[in-house]
Amino acid sequence: MSNYKIQSSKFDIWTLDFDIRKMLILGIETSCDETAAALVAGGREILSSVVATQLDLHSRYGGVVPEIAARRHAELIGYVIDQAIVSAGRTLGDVEAVAVTARQGLVGCLLVGAAAAKTLSYARRIPLVGIHHIEGHVFANLLSNPTLPVPHVCLTVSGGHTMLLLVEAPCRYRVLGVTLDDAAGEAFDKVAKFLGLGFPGGPAIEKAAREGNGRAFRFPRPLLRAGNLDFSFSGLKTAVINAVRPLMTGGKPLPVADIAASFQEAAVEVLVSKTLRVALETGVKAVSVTGGVSANRRLRQAFTQACQNKGLEAFFPDLSLCTDNGAMVAAAGYARLNRGEVAGLDLDVVPSALMEL
């Protein structure tokens, strides 16, 4: 490595020999607890998407353990990339660029994906592009809904993020609101853990809530009436715990389904009403919801209904693209490469990064 020199903007993508409209991009995602890779053609067509989840590893701790997650990524990343290429019926030689989640996530986890992406970029002399994880989620929706218009308001709700964005144009965002404490998915996970429903909590709460009455408990709707567009889910989680704890000493079985349904209603109401408020204020015609929590059927139903009432269109990703995956990273990478953005081998990972505006 002695004479190896790190260099920024190593490639001029316009001088490379490929047609960007059909460009085959490998997307790599390792920001949290999914080791994922996908091959996407022309930024739209998913040829393969491989996601190795680590749920089994973390469920016994009731949440993601960063060090364990990073080690598992290191074990799996080569295999997952290989599977993504093979299952698309391609070879490594066919890959024309590599996009990787480099911003927002667990630092040890991001480093594994970035190291793999840089290695491929260097070895194959193909362009590298670093993606913000939330931009990946925005593109999950574009992948599933090619007619999704810009501008639109996009709510990203996942285990690590709750962010309200105005998508002004492809790759141009204005942050409208964020969570001030826990992310929405984190609140689902913590309430589920408290109720003994297991990890990840979102699907478990949704399942339990189906048998419950969402009006049985009146949990608070944090910051609903506040003039800003920020969220707070830690207060909601604490309110649930405070309301439920006294019931645990009575000797009667806990009304788990009612608690789950009432919590879900509170979370959904806050998410829907803040998003709709800003969509109407900004005058956009469409709203998109993305990230792991966007798989929640009650959330989808409430958004669809509220949007219909206000003459707006609601968009959600396919269920397979709600949680973390490599396809959304490849799609975002395509858009960034199309703008001539290429990273050098000095691409840094940033655990907590603002969305670029």
Which amino acid is located at 20 in the chain? I
Return the one option of ligand KG4, Zn ion, none that residue 185 interacts with (CB less than 5 to 8 A, by type).
ligand KG4
Q: Does residue number 202 form part of the binding site for ligand KG4 (CB under 6 A)?
A: yes
Q: What tokens appear for 14 in the block? A: 């316009």
Return the one option of Zn ion, ligand KG4, none that residue 200 interacts with (CB less than 5 to 8 A, by type).
ligand KG4
Closest separation between CB of residue 175 and Zn ion, Å? 16
Q: Does residue number 206 form part of the binding site for ligand KG4 (CB under 6 A)?
A: yes
Give the CA-trace dihedral at 205, 208, 211, 217, to 10 degrees.
-50
Do 36 and 51 form a contact (C-beta atoms < 8 A)?
A: yes
Give the residue, chosen from 141, 158, 232, 262, that forms a contact with ligand KG4 under the rule CB under 6 A.
Answer: 158
Residues 311-350 close enough to bind Zn ion by CB under 5 A: 324
Q: Does residue number 30 form part of the binding site for ligand KG4 (CB under 6 A)?
A: no
Residues in contact with 42: Cβ distance below 8 Å, sequence separation at least 6, in sequence order: 21, 22, 23, 334
- Prior bond to 200 cis, omega within 30? yes
Residue nearest to Zn ion (CB): 158
- Strands, sheet with 172-178, edge to edge from the N-terminal-most edge strand: 172-178, 162-169, 152-157, 286-290, 313-315
Site string for ligand KG4, 258-297 (x = CB under 6 A): ---------------------------------xxx-xx-
Q: Does residue number 201 form part of the binding site for ligand KG4 (CB under 6 A)?
A: yes
Coarse DSSP helix, strand, coil percentages of the chain, rounded to the nearest 5 percent: 45, 20, 35
- Prior bond to 127 cis, omega within 30? no
Closest separation between CB of residue 94 and Zn ion, Å? 27
Q: Does residue number 188 form part of the binding site for ligand KG4 (CB under 6 A)?
A: yes
Site string for ligand KG4, 324-343 (x = CB under 6 A): x-------------------
Sign of the dihedral through C-alpha 173, 179, 180, 186: negative
Which part of the chain contacts ligand KG4 (CB under 6 A), choosing from 113-121, 195-203, 210-218, 332-340?
195-203
- Integer-rounded Cα radius of gyration of the chain: 21
Give the residue, chosen from 49, 104, 158, 262, that forms a contact with Zn ion under the rule CB under 5 A.
Answer: 158
Q: 25 φ, ψ to 5°?
A: -115, 135
Closest separation between CB of residue 126 and ligand KG4, Å? 26
Closest separation between CB of residue 206 and ligand KG4, Å? 4
Contact residues toward ligand KG4 (CB under 6 A) are: 32, 158-160, 185-186, 188-189, 200-203, 206, 291-293, 295-296, 323-324
